[in-house]
Amino acid sequence: MTTTSHPATVSAPPESTTMSAIVQREYGDSAVLRLKAISIPAITDDEVLIRVHAAGVNHADWVSTTGEPLIGRLAFGLRRPKQPVRGRDVAGVIHAVGPAVTRFRPGDAVYGELDTGTFAEYAAAPERAVALKPANLTFEQAAVVPLSARTALQGLTIADDVRPDSHVLINGASGGVGTFAVQIAKSLGAEVTAVCSARNAELARSLGADHVIDYTETDFTTGAERYDVIFDSIGNHSLSRLRGVLTRRGTLVLSSGTGGRVLGPMGRILQALLMTPFVSQTLRTFTSGLPLDRITELVEAGEVTPVIERAYPLAETGQAIRHFAERHARAKIVIRVTPDAERR
């Protein structure tokens, strides 16, 4: 496996102690996201300070912006966000390292998924949360990979359900997670059916899908085809309907969904977990926690390539989040934090 890094030179201190960041002080729609000048985060002994070049937009950013489903506030903050800076995915250059950091040096180009906010000029990250950026990706491309690609990879490999003779259906194949899921399923040798709109059919085929179903014309849960694995990133069909088109020993992977205002997709997930011991099929959910190393291997081998619909400047992050939430974004949206975010 190859990696990319910049020469390990000690970076000059930031010109000021403040940075521009997208800050949220209350829950609401995208209007609560405002560009502010705040302090550059300090790092602890085992952390690195990243000069952010680009940051990916994810469903998790919309959830933490709105505070819905309400169950999420147990983690994000009951009355207001505990972490005021939005964003999870990041790609950039390490500016400084803590004394206990051993894997990175200033100047290294990295990417990762953080809890500390990435829609900002700088982000602090635990050493374990980042990896060297894949050599064949720009910063913008790398920034949209971590959360979505790891979700797809873990969902499809968590129990070795996908084999070369498997028939896998990806529901939501043109979305952020779905575009990675199609490619990963193909890399595992599966026959892949992609479910998306007609306008995204060519995209799904270009990613390797063997079959494409236009959900506006055909309800795949009423068809005669049976699937060994269904990866559902939409949540627009009941568990019983999805189980109806699984093989007898098939696996249903629940990646996301909407659900009610209080529990969101958790109600459906809990239903699946309670049902699993009593049916021959496997109903599974998961949390994304895989290290980035396997994703880096797939990317550098050319088996997985991120697809970006649009890039927004940092100041327009609110518009980017609104576009993601309201317009059924195609593939991934990225925030360009620095002007040179395209360079490798």
Q: Is residue 104 part of a domain?
A: yes
> Residue 10: what pLDDT?
40
Q: State which amino acid sits at residue 4.
A: T
Query: Which CATH number fits the domain that encloses residue 133?
Result: 3.90.180.10
Please report whether residue 342 resides in a domain: no
Q: Do residue 158 and residue 216 come from a single domain?
A: yes
Q: Domain range holding 68? A: 18-145+306-336
Q: What is the pLDDT of residue 343?
A: 54
- Residue-wise pLDDT tens digits, 279-309: 889 888 766 668 899 999 999 999 999 999 9
Tell me phi and psi for residue 166, to 5 degrees: -80, 145
76-80, 155-159, 292-296, 330-334, range with the lowest pLDDT: 76-80
CA–CA separation, 237 vs 313, rounded Å? 36
Q: Are residues 269 and 327 in the same domain?
A: no
For 83-114, what is each residue's pLDDT tens digit? 899 999 999 999 999 999 999 999 999 999 99
pLDDT > 90 in the chain, percent = 68
Is the confidence at residue 3, as pLDDT, over 50? no
Are 231 and 190 in the same domain?
yes
What is the rounded CA–CA span in Å between residue 240 and residue 8? 55
The answer on 196 and 248 residing in a single domain is yes
Does 241 lie in the same domain as 256? yes
pLDDT at 341: 53
Give the confidence band of 332 by pLDDT, cuts at 50, 70, 90. Answer: very high
Query: 269 exposed, middle or buried (CB, 10 Å; 0-12, 13-18, 19+)?
Result: buried
Residue 4's pLDDT band (boundaries 50, 70, 90)?
A: very low
Where does the pLDDT of residue 123 fall: very low under 50, low under 70, confident under 90, or very high at 90 and above?
very high
Of 181, 32, 35, 49, nearest to 114 by C-alpha is 49
Does 217 map to a domain?
yes
User: In whole numbers, what is the pLDDT of the chain averaged over residues?
Assistant: 88
- Is the domain of 32 the same as that of 125? yes
Q: Is the pLDDT of residue 2 over 60?
A: no
Could you report the per-residue pLDDT of 138-194, keeping only the tens digit for each? 999 999 999 999 999 999 988 688 989 899 999 999 999 999 999 999 999 999 999
Residue 270: band (very low, low, confident or very high) from pLDDT cuts 50, 70, 90: confident
* Shared-domain flag, residues 138 and 68: yes
The answer to whether residue 275 scores a pLDDT higher than 90 is no
Domain tally for the chain? Answer: 2
pLDDT at 271 exceeding the cut of 80: no
Q: Would 67 be classed as within a structural domain?
A: yes
Is 55 in the same domain as 155? no
Is 34 found in the same domain as 55?
yes
User: Do 198 and 241 fall into the same domain?
Assistant: yes
**Is-contact 170 207, C-beta < 8 A?**
no
Chain Cα centroid distance, residue 300: 18
User: How much of the chain, in percent, has pLDDT values that exceed 70?
Assistant: 87
Residue 116 lies inside a defined structural domain of this protein: yes
Residue 315 falls within a domain, yes or no?
yes
Say what the pTM is: 0.89
Instruction: Indicate whether 72 belongs to any domain.
Output: yes
Question: Given the structure tokens 């049976």, which residue do they identify?
Answer: 226
Q: Around Cβ 113, how many Cβ atoms within 10 Å?
A: 23
Residue 98 lies in a domain: yes
> What mean pLDDT do residues 225-238 have?
93
Question: Are residue 29 and residue 111 in the same domain, yes or no?
Answer: yes
- The CA distance from 25 to 4, in Å, is 37
Structural tokens at position 229:
């694995």
Q: Are residues 210 and 318 in the same domain?
A: no
